[in-house]
Amino acid sequence: MKRQWWHDKTAYQIYPKSFCDSNADGIGDLQGVISKLDDLQALGIEILWLSPVYLSPMADQGYDIADYYSIDPRFGTMEDMERLLAEARKRGIAVLMDLVVNHCSDEHEWFRRACEDPDGPYGQYFYIRDWHEGEKLPTNWCSYFGGPCWDKLPGHEDKVYLHLFHKKQPDLNWENPALRQEIYRMINWWLDKGLAGFRIDAIINIKKALPLCDYPPDRPDGLCYVSTMLRHAHGVLDFLDEMARNTFQKHDAFTIAELFDDRPEDLPRFIGEDGCFSTIFDFSENALDSSPNGWYDRKPITAEQYKQAVFAAQARAADVGFMANIIENHDEPRGVSRYLPRGERSEAAKKMLGGLNFMLRGLPFLYQGQELGMENVPFADISQIDDISTLDEYQGALRAGLSPEDAFAAVIPFSRDNARTPYQWNASANAGFTTGKPWLMVNPNYPRINLAEQRGRTDSVYHFYRELIALRRSPAYRETVVWGSLEPYLAHQRNLMAYWRKGEKTLLVAGNFQAGPQVMPLPHAPRQILLNNLPDIDLRADGVHLAGYQFLVMEM
């Protein structure tokens, strides 16, 4: 496999609205990010992805873009963005923005013009269809945020437009070459500015199965999940290859795609040597608890399921390319709250979960606060929730017959707002995020879980992540940690997740994914213990006696 400049890096996602507020309006901003670059550098971060900061009415927190060429005033100015790029570069940090081009905002000029003149050129930028009151809609697809994918075109009684996401996120018509050229021009404009690349949003959705048609209903409301349509859509790679040729390849840009519902056999075309992206996120463990009924019907994920999903994904990518490994992001609950059972979310367990993920083959991608072991939020009432997806899932649970209390209790553990609360900098008011009123409540555990406290304590979760990153960068182990192969070890031993990393050196990574102890047999005694999340290690003739949630990286 050809080596790339980004392979040995550690990446970090910032959710700008909740990272650091520089001007007391309760909303995180670019100046806030700039003021924390030293902290990111001290952690060892070399790639930074910013969730959207473009001009947006914020129906979906910036994933509804009204102008791709300007920064939303809530976040700052274009000068701030340029300064951020320059300051990051000084610290050896490559910056990625979010590329959201399946849809734009209904407040984007393209959509406004399409509404003014649906038969004119901008009408062709979207999927607009004739429709008359009382008729069935053009298709029976269910939007990702609930309800039909079609809404009335503003100003027209007899036309509807397609939105796979929220109604304020009209889908762009990629079949139209003029639209594609506009998008390539925009991408190149940003890359010319010195952006290192993009995280690419919801990209599989750009190709619709044509002609648009109904599919058998698979939901209680008689609609059909978009995933069925996507299975019938062919040709997304033609669009993506064309986009890559016209933009990313010319700039040697780094791209990481958010890809769901892709066909496994297409993996080489996505992330292989000549693939259209540098890498994609591995969502296989996030998908484990999904249910066709919705969030309220999700079941807890067991350690065994987690391990098997991760190993399967590692095997798929092994000869193809690098996947990016995550335990959480801005769309998911906190990893420690999801994959560790209630009552067992100790710092040791958090380090184990983080360590097992970090040491996989691929690009480690942290989400803000993960390095502190930030947890889900004890929301008490639905009125505290901002996220449109959670509100929709809550309604779905009510429709399924759950009482309001049960619906709330079932849905909240999966709320996207769990990961969107302000970053916990210190124990002062609002966790040091803002001196104003934060836009979303701060997790009340901030006096206990915050960066200042963890920085001052060498056995903290934060310091453990620093050690993981330092190991990845170290001259002695980099070769093995980054490019070494991965082979599962004792994959059938229950609640043990262990794997070899083999390269110049031979490392054995092991996590005891349970509260009780267990013995892991070893082929021979380790040469050296490189990382241990507990103060001691119990090595005996029959192997290593792991304490509950113990995590080790051993050189063998």
25 binds, among Ca ion, ligand TEU, none (CB under 5 to 8 A by kind): Ca ion
Least Cα distance to 294 among 376, 399, 192 occurs for: 399
Q: What's the CA gap between 318 and 321, in Å, rounded?
A: 6
Nearest distance, CB of residue 267 and ligand TEU, angstroms: 18
Q: Is 435 in the site for Ca ion (CB under 5 A)?
A: no
Interface with ligand TEU (CB under 6 A), residue from 163, 345, 416, 501: 416
Tell me the Cα Rg of the chain. Answer: 24
Q: Which is nearer to ligand TEU, 58 or 497 (CB)?
A: 58
At CB < 8 A and 24+ separation, what contacts does 301-308 make? 301/338, 301/339, 303/339, 303/495, 303/497, 303/513, 303/514, 304/494, 304/495, 306/339, 306/497, 306/513, 307/491, 307/497, 307/513, 308/491
Q: Is 375 in the site for ligand TEU (CB under 6 A)?
A: no
DSSP states along 230-280: HHH---HHHHHHHHHHHTHHHHT-EEEE---S--GGGHHHHHSTT-SSSEE
Residues in region 14-33 near Ca ion by CB under 5 A: 21, 23, 25, 27, 29
The one-letter code for the residue type at 171 is: D
108 binds, among Ca ion, ligand TEU, none (CB under 5 to 8 A by kind): none
The backbone torsions φ and ψ at residue 374, rounded to the nearest 5 degrees and listed phi first, read -60, 145
Binding-residue pattern over the window 316 to 335 for ligand TEU, x denoting contact by CB under 6 A: --------------xx----
- 222 close to 166: Cβ distance less than 8 angstroms: no
Nearest distance, CB of residue 389 and ligand TEU, angstroms: 4
Q: Is 387 in the site for Ca ion (CB under 5 A)?
A: no
Angle made by CA atoms 342, 347, 352, in degrees to the nearest 5: 90
Nearest distance, CB of residue 22 and Ca ion, angstroms: 6
* Per-residue tokens: 552: 């080790």
63 binds, among ligand TEU, Ca ion, none (CB under 5 to 8 A by kind): ligand TEU
Least Cα distance to 49 among 112, 96, 91, 89 occurs for: 96
Q: Is 253 in the site for ligand TEU (CB under 6 A)?
A: no
Q: Is 508 in the site for ligand TEU (CB under 6 A)?
A: no
Catalytic residue at 344?
A: no
Among candidate residues 201, 285, 347, 467, the one labeled active-site is 201
Q: Is 105 in the site for ligand TEU (CB under 6 A)?
A: no
Q: Is 389 in the site for ligand TEU (CB under 6 A)?
A: yes
Q: What's the CA gap between 36 and 539, in Å, rounded?
A: 42
Catalytic residue at 453?
A: no
Least Cα distance to 234 among 216, 261, 258 occurs for: 261
The backbone torsions φ and ψ at residue 505, rounded to the nearest 5 degrees and listed phi first, read -115, 170
Q: What's the CA gap between 145 and 167, in Å, rounded?
A: 9
Interface with ligand TEU (CB under 6 A), residue from 55, 202, 206, 352: 202
165 binds, among ligand TEU, Ca ion, none (CB under 5 to 8 A by kind): ligand TEU
Which residues lie below 8 Å from residue 386, measured CB to CB, with a gap of 6+? 417, 420, 439, 440
Q: Which is nearer to ligand TEU, 206 or 310 (CB)?
A: 206
* Per-residue tokens: 232: 């019938």
Nearest distance, CB of residue 247 and ligand TEU, angstroms: 20
389 binds, among ligand TEU, Ca ion, none (CB under 5 to 8 A by kind): ligand TEU
Among candidate residues 21, 258, 347, 375, the one labeled active-site is 258
Nearest distance, CB of residue 297 and ligand TEU, angstroms: 15
Q: How many CB atoms lie within 10 A of CB 445?
A: 15
Binding-residue pattern over the window 255 to 294 for ligand TEU, x denoting contact by CB under 6 A: ---x-x----------------------------------
201 binds, among Ca ion, ligand TEU, none (CB under 5 to 8 A by kind): ligand TEU
Active site residues: 201, 258
* Binding-site ranges for Ca ion (CB under 5 A): 21, 23, 25, 27, 29
* Binding-site ranges for ligand TEU (CB under 6 A): 60, 63, 100, 144, 165, 201-202, 258, 260, 330-331, 389, 416
